[in-house]
Amino acid sequence: MKLAVDEQRMLDGKEGPARQKAMDLLLRYGEALGAERLVDTNNVCATAGATTPFLRDFAAQHPGGLDAVFSEFSLDSAEVVKIPKVRAYTSHLQQGLDPAHAAEQNVAHELVQLYRNGQAYLGGLGLQMLNTCTPYQVGNVPVKGEHCAWMESSAVIYCNSVLGGRTNAEGRESAGAAMLTGKIPYWGYHLDQNRLGTHLIEVEIDVRDTADWGLLGYYVGEMVQDRIPVLNGIRYVPNLARLKHFGAAASSSGGVEMYHVIGVTPEASDMKEAFGGRKPMAALGYGPAERRLAYERVNSTARERRVDYVMLGCPHYSLEQIWEVCQLIEGQRVHADTCLWIFTPSAIKEVADRNGYTRIITEAGGHLMTDTCSAFGRVMPKGTKVAAVDSAKQAHYLPAIMGVQAWFGTSAECIQAALTGRWSGRLQ
Ligand code: F3S
For the chain, which domains are there? 5-190 (3.30.499), 196-298 (no CATH), 309-420 (3.30.499.10)
**Residue 132 to residues 92, 96, 135, 343: CA-CA distances in angstroms?**
7, 11, 6, 9
pLDDT reading at 50 higher than 90: no
pLDDT of residue 422: 98
Confidence band for 394, pLDDT divided at 50, 70 and 90:
very high
Q: Are 216 and 245 in contact (CB under 8 A)?
A: no
**For 323-346, what is the mean pLDDT?**
98
Sign of CA dihedral 20, 24, 27, 30: negative
Q: Which of 133, 244, 369, 370 to mutate to test the pocket of ligand 1 (most atoms within 8 A of CB)?
A: 133
Give the atom of ligand 1 at the shortest distance from the alpha carbon of 248: 5
**Residue 54 to residues 50, 59, 266, 380: CA-CA distances in angstroms?**
8, 9, 40, 18
152 CB-near residues (< 8 Å, 6+ apart) = 45, 47, 93, 94, 133
Nearest CA residue ID for atom 6, ligand 1: 314
Nearest CA residue ID for atom 1, ligand 1: 315
421 CB-near residues (< 8 Å, 6+ apart) = 306, 307, 335, 336, 337, 338
pLDDT reading at 52 higher than 80: no
Write down the pTM of the prediction: 0.98
Judge if the beta carbon of residue 315 lies within 6 A of ligand 1.
Answer: yes
pLDDT reading at 53 higher than 80: no
pLDDT of residue 51: 85
Q: How far is the CA of 17 from the centre of ligand 1 (A)?
A: 34
Using one digit for the tens of pLDDT, what is the confidence trace for 124-158?
A: 999 999 999 999 999 999 999 999 999 999 999 99
335 CB-near residues (< 8 Å, 6+ apart) = 418, 419, 420, 421
Q: How far is the CA of 4 from the centre of ligand 1 (A)?
A: 37
Judge if the beta carbon of residue 375 lies within 6 A of ligand 1.
Answer: yes
Nearest CA residue ID for atom 2, ligand 1: 373
Q: How far is the CA of 316 from the centre of ligand 1 (A)?
A: 6
Confidence band for 428, pLDDT divided at 50, 70 and 90:
confident
Q: Which of 48-57, 201-210, 240-249 has the lowest mean pLDDT?
A: 48-57
Q: How far is the CA of 144 from the centre of ligand 1 (A)?
A: 24
Judge if the beta carbon of residue 373 lies within 6 A of ligand 1.
Answer: yes
pLDDT reading at 54 higher than 90: no
What region does 249 belong to: left with phi over 0, alpha with psi -120 to 50, or beta?
A: alpha
pLDDT reading at 193 higher than 80: yes
Q: Are 180 and 7 in contact (CB under 8 A)?
A: no
For 167, list phi and psi in degrees, rounded to 5: -150, 150
Report the chain's mean pLDDT, rounded to a whole number: 97
Q: How far is the CA of 133 from the centre of ligand 1 (A)?
A: 6
Using one digit for the tens of pLDDT, what is the confidence trace for 262-304?
A: 999 999 999 999 999 999 999 999 999 999 999 999 999 999 9
Q: How far is the CA of 411 from the centre of ligand 1 (A)?
A: 16
Which of the two residues, 55 and 192, has the higher pLDDT score? Answer: 192
Q: How far is the CA of 94 from the centre of ligand 1 (A)?
A: 8
pLDDT reading at 55 higher than 90: no
pLDDT reading at 9 higher than 80: yes
Using one digit for the tens of pLDDT, what is the confidence trace for 161-191?
A: 999 999 999 999 999 999 999 999 999 999 9
